[in-house]
């Protein structure tokens, strides 16, 4: 299928301190993820432009932080309206630059509208708390807290949700009165720049947002700068923990992905679980931090479940993400395609059995076959690391407790899915699974944008979800009288 023209929302300049600029320190070419053809060429921000962005944000923080809740809500509602008007153009752009299947791109934009709408609603109900002090040394005293914006927020976002993961940082910042420095992923920055144009159109003042591409050295200056009050990063654990180590005294929120597991218990609806898990493992070629990567099945139902899951996996369609029936699109680039292929080859060399897939389908379009393996060595990358590709492992376990133990045998801990009808097992899972969220009767990829979302261990620090991110972006100040 021939690639469509870029939608009119596309911006090919950085937005720095209230101005669009084509000047830069070199350029970056953004590719169409299925055809591999160039979509746009963008400038890389210079150190001087980064300094201008930081200065403008720092200068804007007090006036913007003093906006009333009503004014912040009105502007967020205006952003909602603008995105709703242009949602088809954003869907088109997400398909092209992120390689996201059409239906999933449509779902992302609809979620973005919910994210903005929730942020607008939270703006006028978010506040402090009354603090009980009327006893002991505080007898006769009244106390309460009011929350104040922390100041400038540096946001670094990944390619896989090029709009909604931007909004999970930008929307709570706008809701709390925090200026934003936004560095989107170099693989898919056009959506973030297009949304920044909506922020400008909505009437936010100079300095409230700067969005730019830059090399790592320039980005590090933003992370280290003491005028930045909070770093919010979504991406790899290696990069996230490094940035935390250099960011000084500022607050940090990290969402770092994982190798999510799902448990299938006796008595579960195996057909339903197989259908949902096939989607949860291979949708968007597995390039989701809560994609199902490890599947542990109680031995008594393993054989029956394996047959169902193999059938569901084989039924998935891989190809051009612009086609409505495609669920598995391209890998983001050739380098990641080869890494995934190498990890699968290593697992096979170690004795793993491939049930489905296990090969590159189309090198020119970066397509890898949905791959299901069993008897995989526990020290394989496809078990221990985050594949971020269409690869899952399927293994029998002796008991539900053993499945919990296998799930916890990971340095990640983002979310886990549990298919069980046993109330005692549900409680056990909630009490013992070392993750940020346990999804009963569903895949680990379940997410509603208002819920607290984040992980433990190497999966990160803090929680996203509008109200929870707003708490990170504010500080409580106590008043006692």
Which sequence positions are flagged as catalytic?
Answer: 255, 289
**Pairing assessment for the beta strands 415-419 and 261-264 based on DSSP bridges:** parallel
Cβ contacts of 331 within 8 Å, gap of 6 or more: 99, 285, 287, 337, 340, 366, 367, 368, 389
Phi then psi dihedrals of residue 297, to 5 deg: -120, 130
Cα 24 off chain centre by: 28
217 phi/psi in degrees, rounded to 5: -65, -40
Backbone φ and ψ for 386, nearest 5 degrees, come out as -90, 110
10 Å Cβ neighbour count for 97?
Answer: 24
Smallest CA-to-CA distance from 265 within 242, 298, 240 is with 298
Query: Read out DSSP for 209-273?
Result: EEE----HHHHHHHHH-TTEEEEEEES-HHHHHHHHHHSTTSEEEEE-----EEEE-TTS-HHHH
Residue 21 and residue 13 in contact, taking contact as beta carbons nearer than 8 Å: yes
In terms of DSSP H, where are the helices of 334-447? 334-349, 381-384, 400-408, 423-432
By C-alpha distance, which of 448, 316, 299 is closest to 392? 316
C-alpha 262 chain-centroid distance: 19
Would you put residue 375 in left (φ > 0), alpha (ψ -120 to 50) or beta? Answer: left
- Burial label for 139, CB within 10 Å (0-12, 13-18, 19+), is exposed
Where are the alpha helices (H) located in 237-377, listed in sequence order? 237-246, 270-282, 302-314, 334-349
Are 459 and 296 contacting, i.e. CB atoms less than 8 angstroms apart? no
Sign of CA pseudo-dihedral 138, 139, 142, 145 = positive
- 400-408 vs 423-432: helix crossing angle, rounded to 10: 20
Instruction: Single out the residue of 461, 410, 118 nearest to residue 261, CA to CA.
Output: 410
Q: Are 69 and 124 in contact (CB under 8 A)?
A: yes
Q: In this structure, what token pair is assigned to residue 447?
A: 């997410």
First to last CA, the chain: 69
Cα radius of gyration (the chain):
23
């Amino acid at each position: 299928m021939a690639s469509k023209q870029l939608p009119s929302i596309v911006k090919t300049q950085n937005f720095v301190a209230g101005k669009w600029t084509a000047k830069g320190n070199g350029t970056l070419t953004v590719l169409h993820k299925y055809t591999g053809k160039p979509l746009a060429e963008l400038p890389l921000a210079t150190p001087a432009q980064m300094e201008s962005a930081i200065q403008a944000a720092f200068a804007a923080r007090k006036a913007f932080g003093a906006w009333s809740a009503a004014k912040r809500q009105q502007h967020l509602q205006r952003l909602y309206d603008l995105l709703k008007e242009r949602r088809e153009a954003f869907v088109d752009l997400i398909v092209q630059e992120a390689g996201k299947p059409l239906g999933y791109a449509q779902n992302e934009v609809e979620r973005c509208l919910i994210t903005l709408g929730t942020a607008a609603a939270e703006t006028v109900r978010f506040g402090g708390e009354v603090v009980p002090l009327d006893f002991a040394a505080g007898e006769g005293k009244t106390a309460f807290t009011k929350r104040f914006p922390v100041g400038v927020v540096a946001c670094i976002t990944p390619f896989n949700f090029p709009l909604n993961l931007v909004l999970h940082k930008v929307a709570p910042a706008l809701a709390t009165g925090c200026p934003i420095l936004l560095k989107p992923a170099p693989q898919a920055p056009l959506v973030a720049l297009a949304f920044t144009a909506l922020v400008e159109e909505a009437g936010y003042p100079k300095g409230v947002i700067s969005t730019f591409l830059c090399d790592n050295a320039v980005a590090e200056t933003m992370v280290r700068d003491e005028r930045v009050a909070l770093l919010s990063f979504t991406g790899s654990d290696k990069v996230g923990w490094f940035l935390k180590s250099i960011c000084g005294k500022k607050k940090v929120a990290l969402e770092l992905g994982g190798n999510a597991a799902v448990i299938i218990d006796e008595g579960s609806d195996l057909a339903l679980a197989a259908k949902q898990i096939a989607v949860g493992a291979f949708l968007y070629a597995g390039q989701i931090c809560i994609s199902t990567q490890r599947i542990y099945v109680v031995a008594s139902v393993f054989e029956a479940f394996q047959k169902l899951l193999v059938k569901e996996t084989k039924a998935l369609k891989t190809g051009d993400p612009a086609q409505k029936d495609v669920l598995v699109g391209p890998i983001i680039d050739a380098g990641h395609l080869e890494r995934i292929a190498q990890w699968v080859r290593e697992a096979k060399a170690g004795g793993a059995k491939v049930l489905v897939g296990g090969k590159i389908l189309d090198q020119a379009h970066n397509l890898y076959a949905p791959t299901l393996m069993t008897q995989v060595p526990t020290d394989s990358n496809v078990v221990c690391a985050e594949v971020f590709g269409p690869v899952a492992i399927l293994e029998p376990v002796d008991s539900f407790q053993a499945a919990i133990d296998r799930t916890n045998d990971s340095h990640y801990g983002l979310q886990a899915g549990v298919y069980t009808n046993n109330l005692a097992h549900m409680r056990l899972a909630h009490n013992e699974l070392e993750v940020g969220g346990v999804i009963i009767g569903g895949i680990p990829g379940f997410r509603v944008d208002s819920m607290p979302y984040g992980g433990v261990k190497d999966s990160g620090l803090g929680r996203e979800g509008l109200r929870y991110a707003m708490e990170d972006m504010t500080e409580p100040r106590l008043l006692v009288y």
